[in-house]
Chains A and B, each alone.
Chain A
């Protein structure tokens, strides 16, 4: 059971906009910045967004992220087939005194 809760899967058609949610608590998301990672099948994770909403180098502006209270979300607009991947949120937890990850969301492009 992950400390951060993500939906197991989301899907969309090419060109659509989808969002991936990440729910936490006061000890993690509410008081610390959230980062997002993309992992294509068989590949290492790659940093997508850091410090809540800053895109990593080379990440297109179709990807955006936000945080409010104990939740965060990643939005992908203009969905493309290459966006099909797993997405993980992550942050620091003040109670566990460790970095924690969400369980991951599998994005399918129909």
Chain B
């Protein structure tokens, strides 16, 4: 079964650093793009960026360039989303998902990681 399992909920303070993870199984991790999607409370979906673990090519959506770092570890089939200095506005649910190459749809999705940042 193709599956993405994300790390657990995080509660942090503004200014702290954070890395959340997304572990893939049931598919060839290095041959699929993995995307990270933000959903702020009560809001819609925003693609933050994507990574191709095979060669670590990473593309960021303009709004998120310089705000986060996306990386992947081929040896553990895990993608990461990292912040160096969190802001209260980073409070959101974060999802990872496989980007299907044939047409760019996202499937399947991880279960989500809630990040709460207090000021």
Q: Distance in Å from the Cβ of B37 to the closest Cβ of chain A?
A: 8
User: Which among B47, B59, B103, B111 has the greatest number of chain A C-beta atoms within 10 A?
Assistant: B103
Interface residues of A, count at CB 8 A = 24
Contact A99 B104, beta carbon cutoff 8 Å: yes
A33 at the interface (CB under 8 A from B): yes
Chain A 29-67: CB-based contact to B (< 8 A → 1; otherwise 0): 000110101000000111100110000100000000000
C-alpha gap A56/B95 in the complex (Å): 19
Total interface residues on B, using CB and 8 Å?
Answer: 25
Bound CA–CA A44/B107 (angstroms): 11
**Chain A CB within 8 A of B24 CB:** no
Complex contacts, B41 vs chain A, CB 8 Å:
none
Can you report 14 residue pairs joining A to B where beta carbons are below 8 Å apart? Answer: A35-B105, A37-B45, A45-B109, A46-B108, A50-B100, A50-B103, A50-B107, A51-B102, A90-B45, A99-B99, A99-B106, A101-B44, A101-B46, A104-B44
Instruction: Show the binding face of A for B, using Cβ within 8 Å.
Output: 2, 32-33, 35, 37, 44-47, 50-51, 56, 88, 90-92, 96, 98-104
